[in-house]
Chain A
Amino acid sequence: MRMDLIQPFIGSLDAVLAEMMKAPAKIVDLTMEEEGYRRKGMAASVRFRGQIEGRIVLDMEPRAAAKVAGYLTDSEVDPAEPIVPETVCELANMVIGNAATQLNDRGFQFRVFPPEVLTEEQCAKAGQDSEATILCFETPSGNVHLNIAMRYHARRSRERPPVSVP
């Protein structure tokens, strides 16, 4: 997997967590997986298609997600409240949106789809199609995982016209 394509997602997650959690985050682990993805906490998935295709999963420990949701209400939020998965979806949306903007500025054309809450059943499917890079960020409120599975279509980016055969 090309690291230059992954880097914007790392920078974007770092920036979004710093803004939304008002606390530093640091990468504590990086792994590669080819098996079905096992959700670790509350997860949201965002798909994208075009010159770059794949999906990103943002997976947060429930107390970390509840902490972010708590900033809205200025009170403690129980991880079981409906606003918590909504929070994970919107954070995923921000992370992917910011990274996609950077990649788009570098000339990569692709479309981002709205985030979806990732259920246990979808998890198995989510990791079957391709190799994924999983980054673990440590925050004061719990770990946040970013699972990135993407492919770059070099042929699509060139968009060559078909060669005529005599």
Chain B
Amino acid sequence: MKEFEALTRKNDKQPVRYLIVDDSVFARKSLAKMVELFGGQVAGEAGDGRTAISEYTRTNPDIVLMDITMPQMEGIEAVENIVREHPDARVVMVSSVGYQDNILAALQKGARHFIQKPVKPDTLYEIVRYVLNDELSTLPAGAGGGITR
């Protein structure tokens, strides 16, 4: 399995902390495994948008990986709520459905990027580096690209 350079925070050199939001246990485990590969830490998990909002406040993560289609409250609405309360929140949408309308709506509500499932570790790593650019101890080189807010 490919090895990734560990991503750490610039201010305290601690691992990047992630909040993973997806109604699928499989998807959460899959993303958590990638977070581990990147040297990160799972600060919290949520299975719906409503829980994601409370988990964000409780855990104050560096970045959120958010599904779109979920019960209770969908991802786009959750992003809107989180960003309203925490304008600096960095949220990456992770969804199997990549409709242009969905992506635009998410970006307009405050998401920083979008990645379509199945998620490839290389792609997610580059997007995390891009989105956390100024928060990381090592500066990204040529990270990200594509859709940004």
The answer to whether the Cβ of B13 comes within 8 Å of any Cβ in the partner chain is no
The answer to whether the Cβ of A83 comes within 8 Å of any Cβ in the partner chain is yes
Q: Which residues 51-96 in B have Cβ within 8 Å of A in the complex?
A: 69-71, 95-96
Pair A83/B25 contact, Cβ less than 8 Å: yes
**A interface majority secondary structure:** helix
B142 CB to nearest chain A CB (Å): 23
Pair A93/B24 contact, Cβ less than 8 Å: yes
| CB-nearest residue of chain B to A92 | B96
Pair A72/B29 contact, Cβ less than 8 Å: yes
The answer, among B26, B33, B70, B97, for a CB contact under 8 Å with A97, is B97
The answer to whether the Cβ of B118 comes within 8 Å of any Cβ in the partner chain is yes
B134 CB to nearest chain A CB (Å): 31
Pair A112/B26 contact, Cβ less than 8 Å: no
Number of inter-chain CB pairs below 8 Å? 55
Pair A114/B97 contact, Cβ less than 8 Å: no
The answer to whether the Cβ of A98 comes within 8 Å of any Cβ in the partner chain is yes
Pair A69/B26 contact, Cβ less than 8 Å: yes
Question: Interface range on chain A: under 10, 10 to 19, 20 to 34, or 35 or more?
Answer: 20 to 34
A64 CB to nearest chain B CB (Å): 14
Which residues in A have their C-beta under 8 angstroms from that of B24?
86, 89-90, 93
Stretch in A31-39, A99-107, A119-127 touching the partner: A99-107
Q: Give the complex CA separation of A20 and B24 in angstroms.
A: 15
Q: How many residues of B contact A (CB 8 A)?
A: 21
Q: Give the complex CA separation of A104 and B98 in angstroms.
A: 9
The answer, among B25, B26, B97, B120, for a CB contact under 8 Å with A101, is B97
Taking each of B71, B98, B100, B118, which has the highest tally of chain A beta carbons within 10 Å of its own beta carbon? Answer: B118
Q: Beta-carbon contacts of A46-77 to B below 8 Å, as 1s and 0s?
A: 00000000000000000000000100100000
Pair B26/A83 contact, Cβ less than 8 Å: yes
B113 CB to nearest chain A CB (Å): 17
Pair A114/B71 contact, Cβ less than 8 Å: yes
Q: Give the complex CA separation of A89 and B116 in angstroms.
A: 16
Nearest first, the 10 A-B pairs at minimum CB distance are A97-B96, A90-B26, A97-B97, A101-B98, A90-B24, A86-B26, A94-B96, A19-B118, A72-B29, A94-B117
**Known pairs A86-B24, A98-B116, A101-B97. 7 more at Cβ < 8 A?**
A19-B120, A72-B29, A89-B24, A97-B116, A101-B98, A114-B69, A114-B70
Q: What are 13 A-B residue pairs whose CB atoms fall within 8 Å in the complex? A: A83-B25, A93-B24, A93-B96, A94-B117, A96-B96, A97-B95, A97-B96, A97-B116, A100-B97, A100-B99, A112-B97, A114-B69, A114-B71
